[in-house]
């Protein structure tokens, strides 16, 4: 449970409005203008000193806090609270030139150089020592500063350097393995090192999974992913521990719950954050970026244990790091922001305040664009500030969800390891497909960790949960017996936590629950599809199944598993355990979830006409309906109350115009 709430950070704000600010890039006159404009936009919280190391500590033993002192005072005078970076995100060039061994190493043994950012090995004792000294100095100086609202540890820990293969990482990996396994024999068993003559007789023989000629040991790869996530978490812990000795302000770091970064198992991190914070940017490389945003926001709420969370970074318009950096369409920013708030965010912060004129991010959008204040982007920023103010009553309310989706970074790592049945099987694609189907069926979904208590869930979906422990399987079984309508999809429960296959037919720990055994995987070529006897279409995967008790709802009529079961249902206690052996087409998937939701009599939110993203936040009698229209057609929803977005009263069949948002405080 988070120790602080977003509302504690800026108690007067409601839904807070914030940004990253890099005053190092600007002169004093610009600073003064920035203060005026920040007040005009209604900025509550400003993150500074994120990349400040070389400014405050320009040479070994040399400290210069003049500019940071001045900025802290300036923000304070202007009534703006500070989200203070510890400054460790990117070491200055003097560190790596004095200690080249702190530089990170790629799997092929080549070093990565400074000149970008985050050029350090997370396990480097020298880096850690210098970072700790920096944090101590900063925390001592500003720990009780009246402007301080929040500590921002490092920045996106592990964004670029999570996986380091250097000798120091090797050393740290060995210690991590020693505490996990105790003896080398236990490690040999866990990693299955009798395979390909890989048996170790001394810890010193063990390396990170550096580049090899053939496939690497998948259990070693899985443990290296775990170790690397833990190494990042250790960096956080070390800084947080120092800060807490000097300051009572809440501490956090910005997560990267996003589609393209998967190196941190945030289930293991989240409990250590005083406030859960996430960075999210629309990924235009995906087929449906807004749907991915919804998923990421739901997952962030899951990490926050259902409590409100903080969107620490997003963009007003284009980013600069995708192949094609599209500007946001009119209305798109408000839709994105509404979707984050609908799914539990109580604060929206942007990277960054003022668009850089120099450096690698000069083409990244900002609240204040290159064009200056006489621009549509600036006017949009001011309007957004006003909208966030009007949303103050939403802050602190909870998202109402009766469905659950099980998500696991370990499953992501292990499923996409080397030597797998099909490269066409992407964990995240399967998870997104499940989330989309739940959403299309009108269900709001909590994303939970495997093993979480699923009591009171009416619909539970378990997509491609490749790694499964006995306790986690038991929670799924208990949910079905207790009355939930559970859907398990293919590629679930194939291996245990050591990446060892459960024998006797997949998924070993759920065979009985599902009433079937999968005898053989029969993946499809990426371009192929299969047809099911109920008319559904599948892709990516099929399987040869022997049914041992489940009812066959549909069988494969084409493809390598033709004639065999494709979709089954096993009545269990008060609920049911369903299984699907292929990646259903979106409409077929949604129809299947619709059936489960009907069986479960799950509460749903549906548009009266057209397509809407609908989510409700509530707190006792207070209810807020978020209706977001991502399409170019008007849609309607049945409700009544006061629309905080447009400031009008609505009732009955309410039109949500194409591309717009309504946030309705519903009447009792
Ligand atoms: C984040 C990072 C920011 C900025 C932003 C650009 O990953 O934390 O510093 O680089 O991306 O989108």
Closest protein CA for atom 3 of ligand 1: 351
How many whole angstroms from 152 Cα to the centroid of ligand 1?
14
Closest protein CA for atom 5 of ligand 1: 351
Q: What is the mean pLDDT of the chain?
A: 97
Place of tokens 């003097």: 94
- Provide the 10 A C-beta neighbour count for residue 116: 11
Per-residue model confidence (pLDDT) at position 1: 46
> Is the C-alpha dihedral spanning 420, 425, 426, 431 positive or negative?
negative
How many whole angstroms from 24 Cα to the centroid of ligand 1?
16
**What distances in angstroms separate CA 151 from CA 218, 244, 251, 464, 507, one per listed residue?**
38, 10, 5, 37, 44
Catalytic residues: 156, 313
pLDDT-derived band at 8, boundaries 50, 70, 90: confident
- Whether 263 has a pLDDT exceeding 80, the answer reads yes
Reported as a single tens digit per residue, the pLDDT across 630-660 is: 999 999 999 999 999 999 999 999 999 999 9
How many whole angstroms from 482 Cα to the centroid of ligand 1?
44
How many whole angstroms from 415 Cα to the centroid of ligand 1?
28
The answer to whether 586 touches 592, Cβ cutoff 8 Å, is no
Per-residue model confidence (pLDDT) at position 507: 98
Closest protein CA for atom 2 of ligand 1: 156
| Coil vs helix vs strand at 117 | coil
Burial class (CB in 10 A: 0-12, 13-18, 19+), 440: middle
The answer to whether 280 touches 309, Cβ cutoff 8 Å, is no
Tell me the mean pLDDT in the region 35-39: 98
Place of tokens 């070993």: 508
**What distances in angstroms separate CA 468 from CA 154, 373, 383, 499, 542, one per listed residue?**
33, 54, 47, 9, 20
Phi-psi region of 58 (alpha: psi -120 to 50; beta: other; left: phi over 0): alpha
Reported as a single tens digit per residue, the pLDDT across 266-323 is: 999 999 999 999 999 999 999 999 999 999 999 999 999 999 999 999 999 999 999 9
Reported as a single tens digit per residue, the pLDDT across 425-444 is: 999 999 999 999 999 999 99
> Is the C-alpha dihedral spanning 415, 421, 426, 430 positive or negative?
negative
The CA distance from 31 to 24, in Å, is 10
- What phi and psi, each to the nearest 5 degrees, are found at residue 64? -145, 100
Tokens standing for 259? 């589609």
- Provide the 10 A C-beta neighbour count for residue 192: 18
The answer to whether 239 touches 88, Cβ cutoff 8 Å, is yes
- Whether 586 has a pLDDT exceeding 60, the answer reads yes
Residues touching ligand 1 (Cβ under 6 Å) are 155-156, 159, 279, 281, 313, 319, 351, 361, 364
Which one has a higher pLDDT value, 668 or 475? 475
Per-residue model confidence (pLDDT) at position 425: 98
Tokens standing for 350? 């942007």
Report the relative pairing of strands 516-521 and 575-580 from DSSP bridges.
unpaired
Closest protein CA for atom 11 of ligand 1: 351
The CA distance from 311 to 388, in Å, is 13
For the CA of 50, the closest atom of ligand 1 is 9
How many whole angstroms from 351 Cα to the centroid of ligand 1?
7
- Whether 345 has a pLDDT exceeding 60, the answer reads yes
Closest protein CA for atom 7 of ligand 1: 156
- Provide the 10 A C-beta neighbour count for residue 91: 26
Phi-psi region of 619 (alpha: psi -120 to 50; beta: other; left: phi over 0): beta
| Coil vs helix vs strand at 105 | strand
Tell me the mean pLDDT in the region 481-500: 98
Reported as a single tens digit per residue, the pLDDT across 362-392 is: 999 999 999 999 999 999 999 999 999 999 9
For the CA of 315, the closest atom of ligand 1 is 12
How many whole angstroms from 318 Cα to the centroid of ligand 1?
12
> Which residues lie below 8 Å from residue 281, measured CB to CB, with a gap of 6+?
258, 313, 314, 315, 319
Residue whose C-alpha is closest to residue 310's, from 283, 280, 273, 348: 348
- What phi and psi, each to the nearest 5 degrees, are found at residue 245? -75, -20
How many whole angstroms from 169 Cα to the centroid of ligand 1?
25
How many whole angstroms from 54 Cα to the centroid of ligand 1?
18
Q: Which of 50, 315, 361 to mutate to test the pocket of ligand 1 (most atoms within 8 A of CB)?
A: 361
For the CA of 51, the closest atom of ligand 1 is 9
The answer to whether 200 touches 192, Cβ cutoff 8 Å, is no
- Whether 501 has a pLDDT exceeding 70, the answer reads yes
How many whole angstroms from 30 Cα to the centroid of ligand 1?
22
Q: Which of 83, 156, 354 to mutate to test the pocket of ligand 1 (most atoms within 8 A of CB)?
A: 156
For the CA of 321, the closest atom of ligand 1 is 12
Q: Write out the DSSP string of 231-296.
A: HHHHHHHHHHHHHHHH--S-EE-EE--SSS-----HHHHGGG-SS-EEE----TTSS-HHHHHHHH
Closest protein CA for atom 12 of ligand 1: 319
- Provide the 10 A C-beta neighbour count for residue 170: 17
Q: Which of 24, 263, 281, 313 to mutate to test the pocket of ligand 1 (most atoms within 8 A of CB)?
A: 313
Per-residue model confidence (pLDDT) at position 616: 98
Rg of the chain (C-alpha set): 26
**What is the distance of C-alpha 271 from the center of its chain?**
15
The CA distance from 250 to 471, in Å, is 34
Tokens standing for 233? 């978490």
Q: Which of 252, 351, 363 to mutate to test the pocket of ligand 1 (most atoms within 8 A of CB)?
A: 351
How many whole angstroms from 20 Cα to the centroid of ligand 1?
9
For residue 549, the surrounding DSSP H or E stretch is none
The answer to whether 365 touches 317, Cβ cutoff 8 Å, is yes
For the CA of 156, the closest atom of ligand 1 is 8
Residue whose C-alpha is closest to residue 580's, from 599, 410, 590: 590
The CA distance from 168 to 614, in Å, is 49
Closest protein CA for atom 4 of ligand 1: 351
How many whole angstroms from 386 Cα to the centroid of ligand 1?
25
For the CA of 155, the closest atom of ligand 1 is 8
- Whether 7 has a pLDDT exceeding 90, the answer reads no
Tell me the mean pLDDT in the region 57-80: 98
For the CA of 159, the closest atom of ligand 1 is 7
How many whole angstroms from 521 Cα to the centroid of ligand 1?
40
- Whether 19 has a pLDDT exceeding 70, the answer reads yes
| Coil vs helix vs strand at 511 | helix
The CA distance from 662 to 175, in Å, is 54
Output the 3-class SS for 590-603: HHHHHHHHHHHCCC
- Whether 484 has a pLDDT exceeding 80, the answer reads yes
How would you list the strands of the sheet with 613-619, edge to edge?
A: 398-399, 613-619, 622-628, 661-666, 635-643, 648-656
Closest protein CA for atom 10 of ligand 1: 361
Per-residue model confidence (pLDDT) at position 2: 57
| Coil vs helix vs strand at 636 | strand
For the CA of 281, the closest atom of ligand 1 is 12
């Amino acid at each position: 449970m988070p120790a602080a709430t977003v509302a504690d950070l800026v108690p007067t704000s409601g839904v807070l409005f914030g940004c990253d600010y890099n005053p190092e890039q600007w002169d004093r006159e610009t600073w003064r203008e920035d203060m005026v404009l920040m007040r005009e936009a209604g900025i509550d919280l400003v993150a500074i000193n994120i990349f400040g190391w070389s400014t405050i500590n320009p040479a070994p033993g040399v400290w210069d806090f003049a500019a940071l002192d001045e900025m802290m005072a300036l923000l304070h005078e202007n009534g703006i609270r500070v989200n203070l970076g510890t400054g460790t995100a990117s070491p200055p060039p003097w560190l790596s030139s004095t200690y080249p061994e702190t530089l990170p190493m790629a799997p092929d043994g080549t070093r990565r150089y400074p000149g970008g950012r985050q050029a350090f090995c997370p396990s480097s004792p020298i880096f850690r020592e210098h970072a700790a000294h920096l944090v101590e100095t900063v925390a001592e100086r500003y720990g009780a500063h009246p402007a301080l609202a929040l500590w921002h540890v490092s920045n996106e820990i592990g964004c670029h350097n999570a996986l380091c293969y250097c000798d120091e990482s090797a050393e740290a990996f060995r210690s991590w393995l020693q505490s996990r396994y105790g003896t080398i024999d236990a490690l040999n068993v866990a990693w299955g090192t009798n395979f390909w003559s890989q048996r170790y007789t001394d810890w010193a023989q063990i390396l990170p999974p550096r580049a090899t000629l053939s496939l690497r040991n998948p259990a070693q790869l899985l443990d290296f992913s775990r170790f690397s996530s833990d190494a990042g978490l250790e960096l956080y812990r070390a800084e947080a521990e120092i800060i807490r000795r000097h300051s009572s302000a809440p501490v956090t770091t910005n997560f990267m719950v996003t589609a393209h970064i998967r190196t941190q198992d945030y289930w293991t991190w989240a409990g250590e954050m005083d406030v859960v914070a996430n960075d999210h940017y629309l990924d235009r490389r995906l087929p449906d970026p807004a749907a991915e945003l919804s998923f990421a926001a739901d997952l962030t709420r899951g990490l926050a244990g259902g409590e409100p969370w903080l969107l620490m970074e997003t963009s007003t318009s284009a980013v600069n790091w995708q192949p094609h950096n599209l500007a946001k369409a009119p209305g798109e920013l408000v839709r994105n922001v509404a979707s984050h708030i609908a799914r539990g965010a109580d604060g929206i912060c942007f990277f960054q305040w003022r668009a850089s004129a120099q450096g690698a991010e000069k083409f990244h959008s900002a609240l204040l664009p290159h064009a200056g204040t006489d621009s549509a982007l600036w006017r949009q920023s001011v309007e957004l500030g006003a909208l966030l103010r009007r949303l103050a009553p939403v802050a602190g309310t909870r998202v109402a969800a009766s469905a659950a989706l099980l998500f696991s970074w370990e499953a992501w790592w292990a499923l996409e390891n080397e030597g797998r049945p099909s490269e066409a099987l992407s964990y995240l694609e399967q998870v997104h497909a499940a989330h989309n189907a739940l959403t299309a069926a009108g269900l709001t979904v909590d994303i939970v960790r495997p093993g979480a208590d699923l009591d009171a869930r009416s619909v539970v979906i378990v997509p491609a949960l490749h790694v499964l422990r006995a306790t986690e399987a038991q929670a799924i079984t208990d949910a079905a017996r207790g009355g939930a309508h559970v859907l398990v999809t293919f590629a679930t429960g194939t291996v245990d936590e050591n990446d060892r296959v459960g024998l006797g037919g997949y998924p070993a720990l759920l065979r009985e629950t599902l009433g079937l055994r999968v005898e053989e995987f029969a993946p499809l070529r990426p371009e192929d599809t299969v047809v099911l006897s109920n008319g559904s279409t599948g892709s990516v995967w099929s399987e040869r199944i022997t049914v041992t008790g489940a009812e066959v709802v549909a069988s494969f009529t084409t493809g390598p598993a033709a004639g065999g079961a494709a979709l089954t249902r096993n009545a269990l206690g008060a609920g049911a355990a369903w299984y699907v052996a292929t990646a259903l087409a979106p409409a077929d998937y949604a129809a299947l979830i619709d059936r489960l939701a009907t069986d479960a009599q799950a509460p749903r939110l549906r548009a009266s006409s057209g397509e809407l993203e609908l989510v409700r936040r509530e707190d006792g009698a207070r209810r807020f309906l978020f209706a977001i229209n991502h399409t170019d057609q008007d849609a309607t929803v049945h409700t009544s109350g006061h629309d905080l977005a447009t400031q009008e009263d609505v009732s009955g069949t309410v039109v949500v115009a194409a591309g717009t948002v309504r946030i309705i405080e519903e009447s009792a």
